[in-house]
Structure 1
Amino acid sequence: MFNKKLIALRKSKKLTQEEMASKIGVHRGTYANYERGNRQPDYETLIKIADFFEVSIDYLLRKETQEKIINEEAKKILNDPKTFIAARDGEVTDEIVQAALEIIAEQLKNKRKPDEED
């Protein structure tokens, strides 16, 4: 699960594996192994990754479903105008933007009068 989150976070910043490896001070091959799930970062590197993406280590390591993570991120962009603008500028993954749109659609659907049909 860690490797999937790492890939999604890196892609959300539009970074290559080599650029990301440089940001956290490891070789590209080492970083590639993190994303493949073949290797886990040491504590120091894990902290660097969490700090870089401004997420908790708990977020990186916890085994949440991808759908739950995407929905939480979607709610964040809906509640924070700066994050929403970043999403519009392509700094957030398409899946998160799509989930945000689905949340909006559901909220609008629930605001209809009871006698209205779909």
Structure 2
Amino acid sequence: MEQIGKRLRELREGSRLTQTQVAEVVGVQQSRINRYESGKSTPPPEVFVKYADFFDVSMDYLYCRTDKPQGRLYNFQPKVTAAQAIKHKDMKQFVEMCFDPKSPVSKRMKETLLELWKEQLK
């Protein structure tokens, strides 16, 4: 809670606002802002949203999950769906049937084909 309070205080002071002014913006009493900034209590979610909107920062930034005001940027990589997993299983069985298990080249070719198939699913 102390880190969050410090972050809230830094935002307020960086904008040259008083606790009273921020209290008016977020809709709470000045004493609450003091408690938030000192780490004695944590704001409810709706107050965090008002802070984020007013100071134009992300919730990740307010929760101290990142030091970037715009927040974390994720590289979304969806998990394989059930239908894709079934297709992958079917493809694996098909590839196994197509190659001679005794051939050393076949093993590498099977692995390569299956890797290509996995990439196709992404």
TM-score by length of structure 2 reads 0.51
- Structure 1 outlier segments of 4+, above 4 Å: none
- Please tell me whether residue 49 in structure 1 is matched to residue 12 in structure 2: no
Q: Paired residue for 1:77? A: none
CA distance in 2, matches of 1:63, 1:12: 20
Q: CA deviation at 1:62?
A: 2.4
Deviations 1:62-94 (A, max 9, x none): 255xxxx4xx57xxxxxxxxxxxxxxxxxxxxx
Match of 1:38 among 37, 40, 56: 40
Alpha-carbon distance in 1 for matches of 2:5, 2:65:
11
Q: 1:9 and 2:11 equivalent?
A: yes
Opposite residue 22 of structure 1, the aligned amino acid is E
Any stretches of 5+ residues in structure 1 without a counterpart?
A: 74-118
Structure 2 gaps of 5+ residues are: 70-122
Which one has the largest radius of gyration? 2
Q: Compare relative contact order (CA 8 Å, sep 6+) and give the higher one, 1 or 2.
A: 1
In structure 2, the partner of 1:28 is: 30
Q: Which SS does the other structure have where 2:13 is aligned? A: helix
Over aligned residue pairs, what C-alpha RMSD do you find?
A: 1.5
Given the two structures, how large is their TM-score scaled by the length of structure 1?
0.53
Q: Would you tell me which structure has more helix in proportion to its own residues?
A: 1
Aligned pairs, number:
67
